[in-house]
Chains A and B, each alone.
Chain A
Amino acid sequence: MKHAVISCLHANLSAVEAVLGDIDRQGIETITCLGDLVGYGPQPNEVVELIRDRKIETCQGCWDEDIIDGLDACDCSYPSQLAERRGHMAHQWTTEKLTDENKKFLASLPTSIRRGRSLFVHGSPNSQHEYLLPDMDAFAALERVEMSGADTLFCGHTHLPYVRELGNGSIRVNIKNASDREREDIKMTLPIRRIVNAGSVGEPRHGGVNATYVIHDDIKNDVEIREVAYDIDRTCEAIIEAGLPHVFAWRLSNGFEFAELAEDASHVCER
């Protein structure tokens, strides 16, 4: 059976509608959403209500969490103070616009969804704010999946869609204990695990302007990364009309990936 995984919708209604249309045309009925329904974009209520109406199983993203609990991402989540100010402006605007009912919905979302040997999270099993980038330390990436008890970890947050398979791993463990006489030397095989990042529907940062998501075929155990064109002008006009920073529209229309990408994306906010 095929199922679709979407993430990081970021209040971009036009992109969400286009992606859901693409999924529907393929006859896929199971959709999982990895959060960040709101933030940056101009249609937070419309996007939340569409997800609610479609009864799409969703876990909570870092923006969804921040809107409910207040900002807890520290400065280093942004590449500059200017970007941070824009982010905080978007946070305040979204908080004011979002209805109480939609806030309640965001508050009710789980931080993870487990389905068999698959785990669905926004950032990582550790935190909604942790970035699992495609080139992060392979052993650390393997640890994230293995310690979560999953074979496949579906995540978002980076806005970069990718599939990463980690296999053929081994490690030698040599232990000297307190008695100094007993030594153990063991060669261990590391597990085979996979990370699937769904990219972003509403705020692509892969270098192009198209929305992205993934389709997982659990019979073939294959993952397809999908790109979907959408009406970018419609979203950009809505951003300008809403009074949100114009750079949000500029980067969507140009597909610039660096606009809000942290320099140290592996950083985990401890605040």
Chain B
Amino acid sequence: MIERWALLSGLMGDLETYELIQKDLKNTRGDITLFVLGDVVGPDKNCDALLNRLVNPHRGDLKPHCIYGWWEEQLLAESGYRGERKADALRLNKGDDAVTALMNAVDPYYLGWISSLEFGFVELDCGLIHGSSKDVGDILTMQTPPLTLLDRITRLNVNRLFTARSKQQFHLELTDAVVDSKVKDLNGKRNQEHTLPKRAVIGIGAGAHYTLYDVGSDQTHFLTVGDVTKSRGRGFA
């Protein structure tokens, strides 16, 4: 059976969308592993029902493998889980009201579970992270300079990096990378040509936009909730 990963992020308390994605995945062929790359909480709606569903999946749900995202980082910081650091980035960008709204959107009961989430997963030769290997808030897009993308991939020692923070869906491949290095030191001079095998950064989308990844063929399918039902002819269902 074809091995697939379903990757989603940015639900921000939206249980309805999560249920629709679960429904889509039930109708999708393959042995599917579900990864939730953070931002399951947010300030705009109460997140407790979604959190409860992630912590206690319903019978028939694909079990979600979750990591924390930027909004969880802000929540944990403001709740005292990051030492003296508070939700400074959120406060700076959206003000005190947003911080208060975020705190009110999540029952403290769930903080223990959120604080237990990992920064990222490494599966096979792939890194699965909310932002990047540099920071949970790092935004990687199609416009990010290739050297920066390579750096974020190299830090994890992987070939592919799945990222969510930008909310964009894209599959960017970096190939034929070459650079000459000339080093002079006390032992003399040496020249070397450096090359890299193919690397890729995949933006998985957010909310109703999610990604299916075929592990064996390295194919990505960018989906929106409901697409599976409409696209049976494309082989998802």
A contact set with B: CB distance below 8 Å:
134-135, 137-143, 146-147, 160-178, 180, 187-188, 190, 206-208, 212, 223, 225, 227
Interface assignment of B220: CB less than 8 Å from any CB of chain A: yes
Q: Give the dominant DSSP class at A's interface.
A: strand
How many A-B residue pairs lie within 8 Å, measured between CB atoms? 119
> In the complex, A146 Cα to B145 Cα: how many Å?
10
Partner of B184, one of A162, A170, A212: A162
CB distance from B1 to the nearest CB of A (A): 24
Task: Report the count of interface residues on B (CB-CB < 8 A).
Answer: 34
- The reply to whether A139 and B177 form a contact with Cβ atoms under 8 Å apart is yes
CB distance from B217 to the nearest CB of A (A): 14
Interface assignment of B170: CB less than 8 Å from any CB of chain A: yes
Interface assignment of B186: CB less than 8 Å from any CB of chain A: yes
- The reply to whether B147 and A190 form a contact with Cβ atoms under 8 Å apart is yes
Asked, given contacts A166-B181, A170-B176, A187-B176, whether A175 binds B170 with beta carbons under 8 Å apart, the answer is yes
CB distance from A170 to the nearest CB of B (A): 6
> In the complex, A44 Cα to B148 Cα: how many Å?
38
Asked, given contacts A170-B178, A175-B171, A176-B171, whether A206 binds B186 with beta carbons under 8 Å apart, the answer is yes
> In the complex, A208 Cα to B220 Cα: how many Å?
54
- The reply to whether B181 and A143 form a contact with Cβ atoms under 8 Å apart is no
Interface assignment of B215: CB less than 8 Å from any CB of chain A: no
Asked, given contacts A139-B150, A139-B154, A178-B205, whether A212 binds B186 with beta carbons under 8 Å apart, the answer is yes
Contact residues in B for A165 (Cβ distance below 8 Å):
181-182
- The reply to whether A225 and B196 form a contact with Cβ atoms under 8 Å apart is no
Residue-by-residue, is B168-195 near A (CB-CB < 8 Å gives 1, otherwise 0)? 1111111111111111111000001010
Asked, given contacts A187-B176, A188-B146, whether A134 binds B183 with beta carbons under 8 Å apart, the answer is yes
